[in-house]
Amino acid sequence: MTLERVESEITGNVWKIEVKPGDKVEAEDVIMILESMKMEIPVEAPCAGTIKEILVSEEDAVDEDQVLATIES
Amino acid sequence: MKAAVLREANIPMEIEEVQISKPGPREVLVRPIAAGVCHSDLHFMDGSYPYMLPTILGHESAGVVEQVGSDVTYVKKGDHVITCLSAFCGHCNKCLTGHLSLCNSPEVSRKAEEAPRIAQGSDTIHQFLNLSSFAELMLIHEHALVKVREDMPMDRAALIGCSTTTGVGAVFHTAKVEPGSTVAVIGCGGVGLAAINGAALAGAARIIAVDMVDSKLELAKSVGATDIVNASSGNAVGEVIEMTQGGCDYTFEAIGLKATAEQSFQMLCPGGVATIIGMIPPGTMVELQGVDFLSEKKIQGSNMGSNRFRVDMPRFVDFYLDGKLHLDQMISKHIKLNEINEALTALKSGQEARHIIMFD
Ligand SMILES: NC(=O)c1ccc[n+]([C@@H]2O[C@H](COP(=O)([O-])OP(=O)(O)OC[C@H]3O[C@@H](n4cnc5c(N)ncnc54)[C@H](O)[C@@H]3O)[C@@H](O)[C@H]2O)c1
Ligand SMILES: [Zn+2]
Ligand SMILES: [Zn+2]
């Protein structure tokens, strides 16, 4: 079993979190939606697995490369 | 209402029936009359920029107010408006220090728990940049539009909604081009041509247009370029440096590529400023020679021309009606909403300027 990190590609704010720890996800499922310079940007699961941790909350500011969640695959 | 819905990147959009919500207290329902097709729409259509799907693209439009929310006093039914993606909250640090186009406040969108502005049955259609103008109606925050003169033709007004504001604004507000200076603009599409026109209005002595398509370079001359360089020779930087005997005071990149962003920095004279307007895809790095900082060369980004659009757009309307802003030749074709996929394909080729959707 490996732990995959879900990272943000951009600087922005967390608008909506779509999953919770324990949820099963497929690769490319939307984990959360970020808002950055008016854009609604999806953060997708890099692989299939189970959400281990969500490391941010809605309305949090996030930076490029910040780890937003982890997935056990 | 009918709208062009993007369900998957690179898959042609279909015209679908979708539902638009009623205006909330600070929202306005606008019936677009004209909508331009901008390269930014293409970046999201081809997936080089990610976006929540399904969505309805389009962000360069002008129209008529159809209905206003209970707290809206700025406009009324029948007013002519231009929309702008730079919706501002009016009370955050960015807004209060005069950087309205950098406002990142979520309050101009609906909250995650509210009903979405656009839906299809029980499914959310994600609004694009708080606008979504490839649709028969738009439901937007009152701070995402500006009232304009009714003698302004709607198709030209639509251009002001993005390309004019972005290009002219980058020159006036972001770079603050000085009269008598030397300017180069790389990429002569809707945005680059507007930057050239803006540089001419700002009094630049020399304006060098760079593109790979000869017809674009001809258009550039008609809006104020004094010199042209066809970049397909592969030596645009060398040619610009030779022409200016050492580089430009200001350069503008209006394409969205790593290579041309780097070229815009290489074309500067000591002390010069490069302004990147093009949308470079996330994850792409731009590389510069560190030694160039010793000669005080600078590089900066520009978002929607660092606009204060409620002030800027009515001025641009006056500029057009006074013959100073050349918007007529920017429009290569008027189309219908169902021709949107062909318009985006044409934009990809670089051969044409703006296509404008006219709604019935
Ligand atoms: N920063 C902002 O706020 C903002 C706003 C609007 C648009 N944009 C971006 O600005 C860019 C330009 O938009 P547009 O609608 O004018 O695009 P466009 O497609 O109309 O024009 C691009 C032009 O660049 C030319 N070109 C392409 N590759 C070239 C190269 N290697 N060398 C020289 N010329 C080349 C094409 O021939 C074309 O004339 C896009 O990236 C768009 O997303 C940014
Ligand atoms: Zn645009
Ligand atoms: Zn604000």
Task: Decide if A9 and B112 are in contact by the 8 Å CB cutoff.
Answer: no
What pLDDT does residue B340 have?
98
Task: Decide if B85 and A38 are in contact by the 8 Å CB cutoff.
Answer: yes
The DSSP annotation for B227-282 comes to EEEEGGGS-HHHHHHHHTTS-EEEEEE-S--HHHHHHHHHTEEEEEEEEE-S-PPT
Q: Does the N-terminal peptide bond of residue B54 adopt cis geometry, omega within 30 degrees of 0? A: yes
AA identity, residue B131: L
Give the position, in ligand 1's atom list, of the atom nearest the Cα of B39: 15
Nearest to A40 among B51, B87, B104 (CB): B51
Q: Which of B103, B162, B188, B269 is catalytic?
A: B162
Distance, CA of B82 to CA of B320 (rounded, Å): 14
Residue A11: closest CA among chain B residues belongs to which residue? B282
CATH of the domain at A40: 2.40.50.100
CB A18 within 8 A of CB A40: no
**Nearest CA distance, B309 vs chain A (angstrom):** 16
Task: Decide if A12 and B104 are in contact by the 8 Å CB cutoff.
Answer: yes
Instruction: Spell out which residues of chain B touch residue A40, defining contact as CB-CB under 8 Å.
Output: 51-52, 55, 126-127
Angle formed at CA A39 by CA B91 and CA B111, multiple of 5 degrees:
60
What pLDDT does residue B112 have?
84
Distance (angstroms) between ligand 2 centre and the Cα of A21 equals 38
CATH fold label, B2-147+327-358: Quinone Oxidoreductase; Chain A, domain 1 (3.90.180)
For chain A, what is the domain count? Answer: 1
CATH fold label, B168-302: Rossmann fold (3.40.50)
How distant is the alpha carbon of residue B173 from its chain centre?
A: 15
Can B40 be counted among the known catalytic residues? yes
Kindly report the pTM of this predicted structure.
0.96
Q: Which of A7, A10, A40, A62 to mutate to test the interface with B (most CBs of B within 10 A)?
A: A40
Instruction: Spell out which residues of chain B touch residue A30, defining contact as CB-CB under 8 Å.
Output: 52
Instruction: Spell out which residues of chain B touch residue A29, defining contact as CB-CB under 8 Å.
Output: none
Give the position, in ligand 1's atom list, of the atom nearest the Cα of B256: 41
Within 61-120 of B, beta carbons closer than 8 Å to A belong to 85-87, 104, 106, 109, 112
CA dist B291 → B249, B297, B298 (Å): 18, 10, 12
Can B43 be counted among the known catalytic residues? yes
Distance, CA of B145 to CA of B161 (rounded, Å): 9
Domain extents for chain B? Answer: 2-147+327-358, 168-302
Distance, CA of A35 to CA of B131 (rounded, Å): 15
| ipTM for the predicted complex | 0.89
Pairing verdict, β B80-83 and B145-147: antiparallel
B190 lines ligand 1 (CB under 6 A): yes
CA dist A37 → A43, B85, B108, B283 (Å): 16, 9, 12, 16
- The region that residue B44 occupies, defined by phi over 0 for left and psi between -120 and 50 for alpha, beta otherwise, is alpha
Task: Decide if A38 and B52 are in contact by the 8 Å CB cutoff.
Answer: no
Mean pLDDT confidence for A53-59: 95
CB B264 within 8 A of CB B288: no
Within 21-60 of A, beta carbons closer than 8 Å to B belong to 30, 33, 35-42, 58-59
* Helix axes of B214-222 and B190-201: crossing angle, nearest 10 degrees: 30
Give the three-state DSSP class for B133: coil
Distance, CA of B230 to CA of B187 (rounded, Å): 10
What pLDDT does residue B264 have?
98
Residue A28's domain comprises 3-72
Task: Decide if A40 and B282 are in contact by the 8 Å CB cutoff.
Answer: no
Residues with CB under 5 A from ligand 2 (ion): B 38, 40, 162
pLDDT in tens, A13-55: 999 999 999 999 999 999 999 999 999 999 999 999 999 999 9
Distance (angstroms) between ligand 3 centre and the Cα of B84 equals 14
Spell out the per-residue pLDDT of chain B, length 360, in tens. 999 999 999 999 999 999 999 999 999 999 999 999 999 999 999 999 999 999 999 999 999 999 999 999 999 999 999 999 999 999 999 999 999 999 999 899 998 889 999 999 999 999 999 999 999 999 999 999 999 999 999 999 999 999 999 999 999 999 999 999 999 999 999 999 999 999 999 999 999 999 999 999 999 999 999 999 999 989 999 999 999 999 999 999 999 999 999 999 999 999 999 999 999 998 899 999 999 999 999 999 999 999 999 999 999 999 999 999 999 999 999 999 999 999 999 999 999 899 999 998
B260 lines ligand 1 (CB under 6 A): yes
Can B38 be counted among the known catalytic residues? yes
B268 lines ligand 1 (CB under 6 A): no
CB B252 within 8 A of CB B184: yes
Task: Decide if B106 and A15 are in contact by the 8 Å CB cutoff.
Answer: yes
Task: Decide if B52 and A41 are in contact by the 8 Å CB cutoff.
Answer: yes
Q: Count other C-beta atoms under 10 Å from residue B19's C-beta.
A: 14
